[in-house]
Amino acid sequence: MTSAGGRPGGTAPRSVDVARLAGVSQKTVSRVLNGERYVSDDVRRRVLDAAGELGYRLNSAARALASGRTRSIGVVTLGTALYGPASLLIGVERAARDAGYALRVVNTLEGDPGGVVGAVESLLEQGVDGIVVSEPIDEGAVSLSVDVPVLVLGAPVTFGGTRTVATGVGAELLARTATEHLLDLGHATVHHLAGPERWFAARDRTEGWRSALTARGRERPAVLAGDWSAASGYEAGRTLAADGDVTAVFAANDDMAIGVIRALTEAGRRVPDDVSVVGFDDIPVAAYVTPPLTTVRQPFDAVAREGLRLLVRAIEKPDAEPAPANDPPVELVVRASTAPPPTR
């Protein structure tokens, strides 16, 4: 419920109007509304009452112009409804709001040349106090020097610019854990279905898979390339099904894993009896597909919150040391899509 704010003339009330009604100066209104100290309780109450009565709302454009800060954070995100990016966005929004920042969002479409640069440019024009780049893909070396702090979510720091922080680089470890799970089950080696190579997130996972195999001196099969979609998983699955030696597959996300399982099943190869499959993300349906999917859980919310904490710190205490990121916990969720290899 919002009172209509009935100032004569139909325009929105300004802080002078509140001041007049409360019988104080305009600056005092500003003080109260910004929670500054040195205001008597009596005055504070009168101001608040007057503001309420008028239906007064701060004008953030004026505030931004005068203070040089917008109290807003810009987010550059891929325009996909994928579970990971969507979850990160939610986490970021919530953490930003808790910290008192509004969110401005710009999507970059995959394949859009200059996408990230253009997006950042537009956020800068909007005057954001900080920028979050979520799940970046690379499109050539992005070197934009930006005068606000930047948080890169899900990738190592590669952006130029002095004030950059990063979190969520733990995916490599998660991927390694997934691969080791399969190896521990007795599989001789593990095939890998990767995401698009331009995504850092995809390369991270491939790296984790590779290092697990290398550490145990296992043969490293050629990597299959998908595009995160179940459809691409299905395609890859058909290839995999044709190769009788395949007993274990690590897919870089759950959607692709589901596609792989479908293709395997159609080809008459049972999961997990003949072939084990593990996914990545733990999307909400993962526990309910057939067979329930063994996967690795990404703590999206924790990653987003932690990242935003660092970003806000960088915004508000520009001189403080860049605090190190606390890497989030690893969690492997074992369900029914993995088992020991068939004995023959």
Partner DNA sequence: ATGAAAGCGCTAACAC
Partner DNA sequence: GTGTTAGCGCTTTCAT
By CB under 8 A, name the binding residues for a copy of itself.
1-2, 4, 12, 57-62, 64-65, 70, 72, 79-81, 83, 86-87, 90, 93-94, 97, 102-107, 109, 117, 121-122, 124-127, 143-147, 229-231, 233-234, 255, 258-259, 261-262, 265, 284-285, 287-290, 292
Give least dist CB 319 to DNA, A.
17
- Find the length of the chain: 344
Residue 25 binds which of a copy of itself, DNA, none (CB < 5-8 A, kind-dependent) = DNA
Give least dist CB 176 to a copy of itself, A.
25
> Which of these, 257, 209, 212, lies nearest to 231 by C-alpha position?
257
Q: Of 116 and 178, which has the nearer Cβ to a copy of itself? A: 116
Q: Enumerate residues 39-78 that contact DNA by CB under 7 A.
A: 39-40, 42-43, 56, 58-59, 62-63, 65-68
DSSP E strands: which ranges in the chain?
Answer: 72-78, 102-108, 130-134, 150-153, 164-167, 191-194, 224-225, 248-251, 276-278, 295-297, 331-333
Round to whole Å and give the CA distance between 252 and 277.
Answer: 11
- End-to-end alpha carbon distance in the chain: 71
Q: Enumerate residues 6-35 that contact DNA by CB under 7 A.
A: 11-12, 14-16, 24-28, 30-31, 33-34
Q: Of 66 and 222, which has the nearer Cβ to a copy of itself? A: 66
Is there binding between residue 109 and DNA (CB under 7 A)? Answer: no
Give least dist CB 21 to DNA, A.
13
Residue 37 binds which of a copy of itself, DNA, none (CB < 5-8 A, kind-dependent) = DNA
**Of positions 8, 35, 37, 244, contacts DNA by CB under 7 A:** 37
| CB-based contact 177:331 (threshold 8 Å) | no
Query: Burial code of 20-53, b = ≥16 C-beta within 10 A, e = fewer?
Result: bbbebeeebbbbbbeeeeebeeebbebbbebbee
Identify residue 332 by its one-letter amino acid code: L
Stretch that binds DNA, among 37-45, 98-106, 167-175, 280-288 (CB under 7 A): 37-45
Applying CB under 7 A, the site for DNA has a residue count of 29
Residue that the structure tokens 């997006």 belong to: 119
Backbone φ/ψ region at 105: left (φ over 0), alpha (ψ -120 to 50), beta:
beta
**DSSP per-residue string spanning 65-129:** HHHS---EEEEEEES---HHHHHHHHHHHHHHHHTT-EEEEEEE-TT-TTHHHHHHHHHHHTT-S
Give least dist CB 2 to a copy of itself, A.
5
Q: Of 56 and 200, which has the nearer Cβ to a copy of itself? A: 56
Given the rule CB under 7 A, which residues bind DNA? 11-12, 14-16, 24-28, 30-31, 33-34, 37-40, 42-43, 56, 58-59, 62-63, 65-68
